Structure 1
Amino acid sequence: MRRRNEKDFEVIVKRRKKGGHEESHSGAWKVAFADFTMAMMALFMVLWVITPQNPKQTAAAEQITNPLVDGGAGVFDGNSKTPLEMPAAPTQPNKVESHEPTKETGKVEPVKYSSPAELKELADLMQAMALELDAQANVEVQVVPQGLRILIKDDQQRFMFERGSVQLNPHFATLLERLAGVLAKVGNKLIISGHTDSVPYKTVKGYNNWNLSGDRALRARNVMVDSGLAPGSVLQVAAQADVMPLRPDAPEDGANRRIEILMLTAKAEGLYREIFGEQQARVDYSSEKAELVIPTIEPPQTL
């Protein structure tokens, strides 16, 4: 073999292109990572915006803005200056009057409540009041078609009135006073009725359970009026004796002794006024004749 001179050598450099290695080091992955980072930042921002506030802060803010929470017990007594007002709803078609101060007097006008939701809120307030006064066994509140039915009754240890008397127990007197503080801020009219058991009244001749139940209902009404309830809020004070027992199977049971307060809706009040008012056509009977009476309605005066 012949050896060549150094001049005869020809150096050839061959470079091979490795496509996969160079693609892994390209800048395309940086664009994808930047898009992913931006998406995550946007997600974190959305989550931060919709995250609820601290419950303690929410409760504190609610206590400041909600007039139902006026310094705890202030709502239930006559010392609270904040008008009773239910939490605002999107629409309140059943509210008859506004709860705004009048321009003439600057006083807050009571509101009439009619919807079951509004009545339920008021019932919850009364149950909370009973719990505060250790009177859970003495107060029962029911939402009925005519409005709100409030029963104040005896328990195993305490009687609302002394037996056969209108002497009011101090515990129940306080309960009526605090209840008056709530109802004084509501514009609905009231009917107060007294109920007894069927045990005959024997102390005074001619005085029976009808007299006793009526006197007890009137006593409850007077205590509430003296505690701030407007006298005109009560449409009727009724004596029921033992004709409407809570336990018809046991008419002599003490559970039937109670005072009931019916807070009327606007519709129920209207029906009541149709029955007892003077604005409806009627027939008056006498020993001489029957006369049809049609009230005349005066047209509204124009200025």
Structure 2
Amino acid sequence: MSDDSQRPIVVKRIKKGGHGHHGGAWKIAYADFMTAMMAFFLLMWLLGSVSKGNLKGIADYFSNPLKIARRGGEGAGDADSLIKGGGKDLTQQVGQMKKGAVQEDEQAKDRRRLSELKKKFEALMEDKAKTNSKLAQFKKQLKLDMVAEGLRIQIVDDQNRPMFKSGSSELEPYAKDILDEIGKLLNDVPNDLSLSGHTDAQQFASGQRGYSNWELSSDRANASRRELLSGGGLSIGKILRVNGFADQVPLDTANIYAPVNRRISIVVLNNEAAAEIRRQAGIDQEANAIPASEVASRVAGNKVASGPN
């Protein structure tokens, strides 16, 4: 039997080793990944919210930055794009505005101003009619309505109270009174005016040869214009157009000989209608249109320079 005390004692030591010290390198890699993903989703959101025109502007900037830098700068791009400025033309140096919103806002202001003018005019006529018997009798011959061009004020004839002497462009005294009141009121609004004269279908048989309802309607419109300027104090630059329509646009289509067809129509033009008239006349409103105040001053200056005619 062996002596157990003589056996060698073997001690097994288990070394618990790790995988080595990695530090925080994985955190940096993860942060880079998250940053890249955030930038990607931000880019997708921007691309989805920008219009095609603005995307083209941005693409042009990156494809040829030197050209945009030379000709763009402040004002290059659209108002809602990443490039500071506004408008469709990226070459413009001055910031542009979105035209659609501006035009809608101006049109709304224009309609509101004309509606207020209509109410003010009706109230004024009611007040004047209380103290002036002639205007009270004439009140029924005034017709106000909103048309496509703006606020239309029509002064129509009555069988017993015509505006003009028969077959003439000479205004009756009470017609002058009403035109004077209209002129004072219209001078307070910035809108341009259009005047037109109308007759009934009765053919003009007297007077000089070749004189017809066309000439008569035009002369009556011009006589009304002169009274608005002289008696009503209307600014000369406010009247944009004067027409004579003869009997071609009757108010009473069922009876083309009715007295109401003989009338003077004054239209307080909205901005869109005034711009269209200028466009038809070949005037660039934005570049060449002369403000009404400047027109009046030029005319006054010419009168002083040339003396009385």
Q: Is the Cα–Cα contact under 8 Å of residues 195 and 265 in structure 2 kept in the other structure? A: yes
Give SS of 1:126's match. Answer: helix
What stretches of structure 1 of length at least 5 have no aligned partner?
1-91, 97-112, 281-296, 299-303
Q: Distance in 2 between matches of 1:95 and 1:232?
A: 22
Aligned to 2:151: 148
Matching of residues 105-116 of structure 1 within 5 Å: 114-115=110-111
Q: 1:215 aligns with which of 204, 214, 219?
A: 219
Q: Distance in 2 between matches of 1:176 and 1:130?
A: 12
Q: Is the Cα–Cα contact under 8 Å of residues 204 and 211 in structure 2 kept in the other structure? A: yes
Give SS of 1:137's match. Answer: helix
**1:245, CA displacement in angstroms?**
0.3
What stretches of structure 2 of length at least 5 have no aligned partner?
1-103, 129-134, 289-309
1:172 aligns with 2:175: yes
Q: Is the Cα–Cα contact under 8 Å of residues 127 and 139 in structure 1 kept in the other structure? A: no
Matching of residues 14-25 of structure 1 within 5 Å: none
Q: Is the Cα–Cα contact under 8 Å of residues 156 and 259 in structure 2 kept in the other structure? A: no
**1:95, CA displacement in angstroms?**
7.5
Matching of residues 27-46 of structure 1 within 5 Å: none
Q: 1:230 aligns with which of 225, 235, 239?
A: 235
Give SS of 2:114's match. Answer: helix
Q: Distance in 2 between matches of 1:166 and 1:176?
A: 14
Q: Distance in 1 between matches of 2:119 and 2:160?
A: 25
Give SS of 2:188's match. Answer: coil
Give SS of 1:149's match. Answer: strand
Aligned to 1:241: 246
Aligned Cα root-mean-square deviation (Å): 2.2
- The amino acid of 1:216's aligned partner reads R
Aligned to 1:126: 121
**1:225, CA displacement in angstroms?**
0.6
Aligned to 1:44: none
**1:128, CA displacement in angstroms?**
2.3
Q: Distance in 2 between matches of 1:191 and 1:119?
A: 14
Q: 2:256 aligns with which of 251, 257, 273?
A: 251
Aligned to 1:276: 281
Give SS of 2:139's match. Answer: coil
Q: Distance in 2 between matches of 1:160 and 1:124?
A: 24
- The amino acid of 2:164's aligned partner reads F
Q: Is the Cα–Cα contact under 8 Å of residues 159 and 259 in structure 2 kept in the other structure? A: no
Give SS of 1:172's match. Answer: helix
Give SS of 1:225's match. Answer: helix
Q: Distance in 1 between matches of 2:107 and 2:255?
A: 41
- The amino acid of 1:118's aligned partner reads R
Q: Is the Cα–Cα contact under 8 Å of residues 107 and 271 in structure 2 kept in the other structure? A: no
Q: Distance in 2 between matches of 1:208 and 1:264?
A: 28
**1:130, CA displacement in angstroms?**
2.6
**1:145, CA displacement in angstroms?**
2.4
**1:157, CA displacement in angstroms?**
2.5
Aligned to 1:3: none
Q: Is the Cα–Cα contact under 8 Å of residues 141 and 149 in structure 1 kept in the other structure? A: yes
Larger helix share, 1 or 2: 2
Q: Is the Cα–Cα contact under 8 Å of residues 190 and 264 in structure 1 kept in the other structure? A: yes
Aligned to 2:67: none
**1:243, CA displacement in angstroms?**
0.3
Q: Is the Cα–Cα contact under 8 Å of residues 126 and 141 in structure 1 kept in the other structure? A: no
**1:263, CA displacement in angstroms?**
0.9
Q: Distance in 1 between matches of 2:284 and 2:192?
A: 19
What is the total number of aligned residue pairs between the two structures? Answer: 174
Q: Is the Cα–Cα contact under 8 Å of residues 137 and 155 in structure 1 kept in the other structure? A: no
Give SS of 2:242's match. Answer: strand
1:190 aligns with 2:229: no
Identical aligned residues as a percent: 34
Q: Distance in 1 between matches of 2:159 and 2:210?
A: 30
Q: Distance in 2 between matches of 1:94 and 1:213?
A: 34
**1:272, CA displacement in angstroms?**
1.3
Q: Is the Cα–Cα contact under 8 Å of residues 130 and 139 in structure 1 kept in the other structure? A: no
